[in-house]
Structure 1
Amino acid sequence: MILILSANQETTTNEVIKWLKAMKKTFIRVHEDEIFEIKVYQKRIFLQSQRNTFFVDDITSIWYRRGGLKFTRKSYDNSSLDMYMDETQHWLEDYVIKMLESKKHINKQSNNHINKLWVLEQAKKAGLKVPEYYLAENTDQVIPNKTITKSIAENIILKSVGSFSEGILYTSVVVEKESESFFITFFQEKIEKDFEIRTFYLNGKCWSIAIFSQSDKKTQTDFRKYNYEKPNRNVRYNLPKEIEEKTHVLMQILDINCGSIDFIKRGNDFYFLEINPVGQFLGLSSICNYSLEKEIADYL
């Protein structure tokens, strides 16, 4: 049986499930709002929520998409006993998650949040080119119009207080220096790219698309600032074998076997930018006719 950990109504998950149904495969989808209780029946561990119940040893493969397993814990009036039981339940939960992740899997709940700075360091060790970067609390060393800045954290969506509007922190070019200091910020060399490359990676195999974002001022720095009236040209693309091999080494170092990876190309050079283990790939799949949803279903 296949276990899928995902967010409620997540579109990518829905598309993979369509293939699983067509293949007549049994699966359980765990939503982000589910809370499980760990139980034992005839020496077998099983998990039970209001929506699902399953034995851990019945799971043959697992896909961590988003969300993850959450557990309810028993509490006691005695504070000393409660502290002990809380720790005990923590290790029991950890054991269950590790048991599931030891099976055939696509990514893991235990390491789903990756550190961008650490990833860049490991990318260099894997032999990939990375634009020069540094952390700073001021713009003293910044070269205007030749330096970009972006979030150190994962993709950030800011919501306005008291309204439904929201904004995304995009990659931006630093056009002038600032006189005051600020919180530690990520700065990186701006590469004048020929085009961008989005690669979907699954267990050693890569599928790529070239995104010609340079032809539109709106998308030159960050192609996620989509121009829906005049979309960028996107075409199938094959990364050089050497880059794919180094990418595979990086993913092994990070213990991640699936994700969306961003590169930029300038001349004969390919620069690694970042990895998103749960990044969107339906657009890439559809435009290039890769059927990545089926690839995932087949793997599971």
Structure 2
Amino acid sequence: MIVILSFSYYEQGTDPVIDWLLYYKVPFVKICVEDLLTKSHEYNLDVNTGRLSIAGTDITDKIKVIFFRRFYRYLQFENKETLGEISRKIFYESNEELNGLTQFLYKIFEEKIWFPRPEVVNVNKLTITYIASKLGIKTPKSAIINNKNDVVKFHNSCSQGIINKPIGRLSYYTFGRYTYNTYTTKYTEEKIEKLQNSFFPSLFQEAVISQYEVRVFYIDGDFYATAAVSSNKDRNIDIKRSFNTKELRWIPYALPESVKLDITKLMKEIDLVTGSIDLLVDDENNFTFIEVNPVGQYLAPSNQSNYYIDKIIAEWLIKKLQLA
């Protein structure tokens, strides 16, 4: 059996894979963190033996392969009464209880085949940059800074300017009819001048002047790369802001073998069987590694390049199920 750990609502990296599993008539079950709360599912998890039963049936040995995709998230429990700070504390502690349960589930099924393993899904972006640099992979000069003076010094040391971006992966913020997101921002001298003398620790990087960006989906040694080429010379620093514009074209791309070797080396070092990787290519065709997201969105480049990555993932899961 294949188990899919994902969100209860539509998730663009998960649901297309499920369509292919249905097409191939492969047994699977999708479990969401909300399922741990619903009263419509009776389950019993033996903490001493690690055996999991659902509706009185032990399914522990039936589970062979686990597709791990954005499973855990903070839940807002039903709030029948508003108790102020007490309510917030109850919500927090209830989520911590669920988090403890999910961490135990990962432990008892750690010998199963995972795609990818849960302990590396939230691997720190700074750690990956550090490891990539140690492996000799070209990365942007990067620094965590909390004061204006050091930003000025860092800016002066970077000939192509600097950018600011989140350390982690921040979510959306919705206020009424408007939704806001955090994007990579270029820091000019004027913007630096407006900074406060001290501020919250922030990630600054040397800007990379690139011809185009390459999005790579990696799966167990195979590469599916797409170049995002903009016709606008004044293109946005953050490519996400150009996704739905006519100026951006997605083109199937053949990675040089040297780049494949670097990526493979990095993925093995951080124990990732899959991930979405961002690269920048400058005017001299030098590649700069930006980041890898273990559960990044792959659907748009896949559709544009006719890679059918959702089908490839489904077939990988099926193959591992047959070999298990």
Q: Please confirm whether the aligned pair reaches a TM-score higher than 0.5, indicating the same fold.
A: yes
Q: Is residue 290 of structure 2 the alignment partner of residue 286 of structure 1?
A: no
Q: Is residue 71 of structure 2 the alignment partner of residue 67 of structure 1?
A: yes
1:55 to 42, 59, 74: 59
Q: Is residue 152 of structure 2 the alignment partner of residue 140 of structure 1?
A: yes
Helix, strand or coil at the partner of 1:11 = coil
What TM-score does the superposition give when structure 1 sets the normalisation length? Answer: 0.83
Change (3 A) 1:173 1:104: same
Residues in 1 aligned to 2:164 and 2:63: alpha-carbon distance in whole angstroms: 43
Aligned positions of 1:264-275 closer than 5 A: 264-266=280-282, 267-275=284-292
Q: Answer yes or no: is the 8 Å Cα contact 2:12–2:297 preserved in 1.
A: no
Residues in 1 aligned to 2:131 and 2:300: alpha-carbon distance in whole angstroms: 28
Tell me by how many angstroms 1:63 deviates. 0.6
Q: Answer yes or no: is the 8 Å Cα contact 1:123–1:130 preserved in 2.
A: yes
Q: Answer yes or no: is the 8 Å Cα contact 1:214–1:220 preserved in 2.
A: no
Amino acid at match of 1:64: F
Tell me by how many angstroms 1:150 deviates. 0.3
Once the two structures are overlaid, the 10-residue window that deviates more, 101-110 or 276-285, is: 101-110
Tell me by how many angstroms 1:12 deviates. 2.5
Q: Answer yes or no: is the 8 Å Cα contact 2:50–2:108 preserved in 1.
A: no
Q: Answer yes or no: is the 8 Å Cα contact 2:232–2:247 preserved in 1.
A: no
1:168 to 170, 181, 185: 181
Aligned positions of 1:179-218 closer than 5 A: 180-213=197-230, 215=232, 217=234
Unaligned runs of 5+ in 1: 71-88
Aligned positions of 1:19-98 closer than 5 A: 19-35=20-36, 37-40=43-46, 45-48=51-54, 55-68=59-72, 94=103, 96-98=105-107
Corresponding residue for residue 94 of structure 2: none
Identical columns (%) = 29
How many equivalent pairs are there? 275
Tell me by how many angstroms 1:213 deviates. 3.3
Amino acid at match of 2:162: T
Higher helix fraction: Structure 1 or Structure 2? Answer: 2
Helix, strand or coil at the partner of 1:140 = helix
Tell me by how many angstroms 1:158 deviates. 2.6
What TM-score does the superposition give when structure 2 sets the normalisation length? Answer: 0.77
Helix, strand or coil at the partner of 2:240 = coil
Change (3 A) 1:277 1:230: same
Change (3 A) 1:155 1:242: farther
2:274 to 258, 270, 276: 258
Tell me by how many angstroms 1:231 deviates. 4.1
Residues in 1 aligned to 2:229 and 2:296: alpha-carbon distance in whole angstroms: 20
2:172 to 157, 170, 175: 157
Corresponding residue for residue 74 of structure 1: none
Tell me by how many angstroms 1:47 deviates. 4.2
Corresponding residue for residue 83 of structure 1: none
1:107 to 113, 116, 124: 116
Residues in 2 aligned to 1:171 and 1:112: alpha-carbon distance in whole angstroms: 22
Corresponding residue for residue 81 of structure 1: none
